[in-house]
Amino acid sequence: MSNGTEAEYEVTHGRPQAFYENFDRKGELQHQTHYCPGCGHGIVHKMLAQAIDELGIQNRTILVSPVGCSVFAYYYFDVGNVQGAHGRAPAVATAVKRSHPQSIVVSYQGDGDLSAIGSAEILHAANRGENITVIFVNNAIYSMTGGQAAPTTLLGQVSTTTPAGRNAANEGYPLHVSELLATLEAPVYIERVGLGDNRQVAQAQRAVRRAVENQVRGLGFSLVEVLSPCPTIWKMSPVDAQHWVRDVMEKTFPLAVLRDRTKDVQPKAAPATGPALEEIPRILGVTDEGEAEPSDAQAKGGVDLQVRVAGFGGQGVLLLGEVLAEAGLHAGLEVSWLPSYGPEMRSGTSNCHVRLAREPIDSPLVAHPDVLVAMNEPSLHKFCASVRPGGWIFYNGETVPEECERKDVHILARPFMHVADELGDGRAGNMVILGALLEATATLPQASVDAALGQLVKSPRWLTLDERALARGRELLRESLQEVCHEG
Amino acid sequence: MRRQLMKGNEAIVKSAILSGCRAFYGYPITPASEITEAAAQYLPQVGGVFLQAESEVAAINMLYGAASAGVRVMTASSGPGISLMQEGISYMAGAELPCVIADITRGGPGLGNIAAEQSDYHQVVKGGGHGNYHTLVLAPHSVQEMADLTALAFELADRYRNPVVVMADGFIGQMMEPVEFPQTATEPHLPKWAVAGTEESRGNLISSIYLEPDKLEAHVRQLEAKYYVAQQREARAEEWRTEGAEIVLVGYGIVARILKAVAAEAQAEGLKVGVLRPITLYPFPGLQFQKLAERARVFVVVEMSNGQMLEDVRLALNGVRPVEFLSRFGGNVPSHGEVLELVRKLARQTLPAPQPERESVAHV
Amino acid sequence: MTSAGKQDRGRLRVDQDECKGCALCIEACPPHVIQMTERLNHYGYRTAMYAGAGCTGCGICFMVCPEPGAITVLRLASHVAASAEGVKPCAGN
Ligand SMILES: Cc1ncc(C[n+]2csc(CCOP(=O)(O)OP(=O)(O)O)c2C)c(N)n1
Ligand code: SF4
Ligand code: SF4
Ligand code: SF4
Ligand SMILES: [Mg+2]
pLDDT score, position A488: 38
Name the nearest CA neighbour of A99 among B54, B248, B290, B97: B97
- Quickly state the pLDDT bin for A25 (edges 50, 70, 90): confident
Residue A18 has pLDDT above 70, yes or no: yes
To the nearest whole Å, the CA of B120 is away from the closest chain A CA by 17
Instruction: State which residues form the domain around C8.
Output: 3-83
Per-residue pLDDT tens digits for A97-106: 999 999 999 9
CATH of the domain at B317: 3.40.50.920
Q: Is residue B58 domain-resident? A: yes
pLDDT score, position A214: 98
Final residue of a structural domain among B191, B215, B234: B234
Instruction: State which residues form the domain around B194.
Output: 4-234
Query: Do B141 and B57 share a structural domain?
Result: yes
Domains of chain A as residue ranges with CATH: 12-260 (3.40.50.970), 304-487 (3.40.920.10)
The minimal CB distance from A11 to the residues C24, C70, C72 is found for C72
Rounded to an integer, what distance in angstroms lies between the CA atom of residue A332 and that of residue A338?
Answer: 19
Name the nearest CA neighbour of B165 among B39, B76, B37: B76
Ligand 1 geometric centre to CA of B230 (Å): 35
To the nearest whole Å, the CA of A120 is away from the closest chain C CA by 31
pLDDT score, position A1: 44
Q: Is residue B312 domain-resident? A: yes
User: Where does residue B94 fall: left (phi above 0), alpha (psi -120 to 50 degrees), or beta otherwise?
Assistant: alpha
Q: How many C-beta neighbours within 10 Å does residue A185 have?
A: 8
CA distances from B70 to A98, A149, B26, B67, B201 (A): 12, 37, 18, 5, 11
pLDDT score, position C82: 67
Q: What is the mean pLDDT of the segment spanning C31-42?
A: 95
What's the whole-number average pLDDT of chain B?
95
User: Which residue's CA lies nearest to atom 12 of ligand 1?
Assistant: A68
CB pair distance less than 8 Å for A1 and C18: no
Name the nearest CA neighbour of C9 among C86, C84, C58, C76: C76
pLDDT score, position C6: 75
- Quickly state the pLDDT bin for C79 (edges 50, 70, 90): confident
Name the nearest CA neighbour of A112 among A70, A85, A140: A140
Residue A175 has pLDDT above 80, yes or no: yes
Contact present, A148 and A116 (Cβ < 8 Å) = no
Residue A257 has pLDDT above 50, yes or no: yes
**Quick check: helix, strand or coil at residue A227?**
strand
Q: Is residue C36 domain-resident? A: yes
pLDDT score, position A291: 60
* Pocket flag, ligand 4, residue C61 (CB < 6 Å): yes
- Asked which of A343-352, A407-416, B18-27 is least confident by mean pLDDT, the reply is A343-352
CATH of the domain at C27: 3.30.70.20
Query: Do B94 and B19 share a structural domain?
Result: yes
Per-residue pLDDT tens digits for B167-201: 999 999 999 999 999 999 999 999 999 999 999 99
Q: Which residues contact B359 (CB under 8 A, 6 or more apart)?
A: B293, B294, B320
CB < 8 Å to A16, chain C? 68
Name the nearest CA neighbour of A53 among A19, A102, A103: A19
Q: Is residue B361 domain-resident? A: no
Q: Is residue C42 domain-resident? A: yes
Q: In terms of CA atoms, which chain B residue is nearest residue A126? A: B54
Number of structural domains (chain B) is 2
For β-strands A61-65 and A80-83, DSSP reports them as parallel
Q: What is the mean pLDDT of the segment spanning A263-280?
A: 91
Residue A293 has pLDDT above 80, yes or no: no
CB pair distance less than 8 Å for A43 and C75: no
pLDDT score, position B363: 35
Q: What is the interface pTM, i.e. ipTM, of the complex? A: 0.94
Rounded to an integer, what distance in angstroms lies between the CA atom of residue A387 and that of residue A306?
Answer: 10
Name the nearest CA neighbour of A291 among A348, A346, A249, A330: A330
Residue C56 has pLDDT above 90, yes or no: yes
Query: Do B25 and B152 share a structural domain?
Result: yes
- Quickly state the pLDDT bin for C5 (edges 50, 70, 90): low
CATH of the domain at B30: 3.40.50.970
Ligand 4 geometric centre to CA of C45 (Å): 21
Percent of chain B with pLDDT over 90: 95
pLDDT score, position B361: 35
Final residue of a structural domain among B189, B208, B234: B234
Query: Do B293 and B257 share a structural domain?
Result: yes
pLDDT score, position A294: 56
Per-residue pLDDT tens digits for A339-355: 986 554 555 788 999 99
Residue B219 has pLDDT above 90, yes or no: yes
Q: Is residue B355 domain-resident? A: no
- Quickly state the pLDDT bin for A31 (edges 50, 70, 90): confident
- Asked which of A93-102, A185-194, B128-137, C78-87 is least confident by mean pLDDT, the reply is C78-87
Closest-lying ligand 1 atom to the alpha carbon of residue A111: 16
Name the nearest CA neighbour of A403 among A367, A377, A374: A377
Query: Do B109 and B177 share a structural domain?
Result: yes
Query: Do B214 and B111 share a structural domain?
Result: yes
Query: Does A238 contact chain C (CB < 8 Å)?
Result: yes
**Quick check: helix, strand or coil at residue A12?**
strand
Backbone angles phi, psi at B351, to 5 degrees: -80, 150
Ligand 3 geometric centre to CA of A40 (Å): 12
Q: What is the mean pLDDT of the segment spanning C45-73?
A: 97
The minimal CB distance from A342 to the residues B114, B185, B207 is found for B114
Per-residue pLDDT tens digits for A152-172: 999 999 999 999 999 999 999
Residues with beta carbon inside 6 Å of ligand 3? C 14, 19-25, 47-48, 65, 67, 70-71
Query: Do B214 and B259 share a structural domain?
Result: no
Q: What is the mean pLDDT of the segment spanning A76-102?
A: 98
Q: Is residue C47 domain-resident? A: yes
* Pocket flag, ligand 2, residue A39 (CB < 6 Å): yes
Query: Do B192 and B276 share a structural domain?
Result: no
Query: Does A19 contact chain C (CB < 8 Å)?
Result: yes
Query: Does A41 contact chain C (CB < 8 Å)?
Result: yes
> Testing the interface with B: which of A34, A60, A92 to mutate, by most B Cβ within 10 A?
A92
Q: Is residue B129 domain-resident? A: yes
Final residue of a structural domain among B183, B211, B234: B234
Backbone angles phi, psi at A62, to 5 degrees: -125, 120
Query: Do B220 and B259 share a structural domain?
Result: no
Q: What is the 3-state secondary structure (H, E, C) of C52-83?
A: CCCCCCCCHHHHHCCCCCCEEEEEECHHHHHH
Query: Do B265 and B202 share a structural domain?
Result: no
Residue B214 has pLDDT above 60, yes or no: yes
pLDDT score, position B324: 97
Interface partners of B (3+ CB pairs, < 8 Å)?
A
Number of structural domains (chain C) is 1
Percent of chain A with pLDDT over 90: 88
Q: Is residue B362 domain-resident? A: no
Q: Is residue B209 domain-resident? A: yes
Residue A359 has pLDDT above 80, yes or no: yes
Per-residue pLDDT tens digits for A201-225: 999 999 999 999 999 999 999 999 9
Query: Do B207 and B68 share a structural domain?
Result: yes
Name the nearest CA neighbour of C46 among C31, C32, C36, C56: C36
Query: Do B208 and B81 share a structural domain?
Result: yes
pLDDT score, position A484: 62
Ligand 3 geometric centre to CA of C64 (Å): 8
Rounded to an integer, what distance in angstroms lies between the CA atom of residue C28 and that of residue C22?
Answer: 11
Contact: chain B with chain C (3+ CB pairs below 8 Å): no
CB < 8 Å to B53, chain A? 91, 124
Q: Is residue B360 domain-resident? A: no
Binding-face residues of B in 50-89 toward A, CB within 8 A: 51, 53-55, 57-59, 61-66, 68-71, 73, 87-88
DSSP class per residue in B2-65: --EEEEHHHHHHHHHHHTT--EEEE---TTTHHHHHHHHHHTGGGT-EEEE-SSHHHHHHHHHH
